[in-house]
Amino acid sequence: MAGGELRFPSADDPPAAARLDADAAGFGFYVVESDTPVEDEFYLWPENCGIWSLWLSVQTQWFTDNGIRTRLDYQGIQVCIDSRSIKKKDRPRYFEALQAMEFAALDEWAKRR
């Protein structure tokens, strides 16, 4: 899985520890038991499903500079919002939520560099 790629695990996926062991073995490494990652679970409240779905749909709207995401294309965001059945009165709230997620994502990616 490429860095930054978002996908949902399926029932057919091997456990995280097994995937890590296989990936490490491909490079001639092995994983010490204390290094095994724990997959974080999260719960999405029903009232956030629309905004989360919109967030997933705008992942193609990132501007990049040398492969580093710098900001979202707000014109592209507007097209995504317009293509969904979001009530006009709710659109500012959706846009503000997207901006909050954009800033949080950029901040997190900056920490990882």
Domain chopping of the chain, boundaries: 14-42, 46-112
pLDDT value for 11: 75
Q: What percent of the chain has pLDDT over 70?
A: 84
Distance of CA 89 to the CA centre of its chain: 26
pLDDT value for 1: 41
In sequence order, the 6+-apart residues with CB closer than 8 A to the CB of 55 are 97, 98, 101
Say how far apart CA 70 and CA 67 lie, in whole Å: 9
Q: Where are the alpha helices (DSSP H) in 1-113?
A: 16-26, 49-57, 74-82, 91-112
Higher pLDDT, 11 or 84: 84
Backbone Cα Rg of the chain: 18
Q: Is 65 helix (H, G, I), strand (E, B) or coil?
A: strand
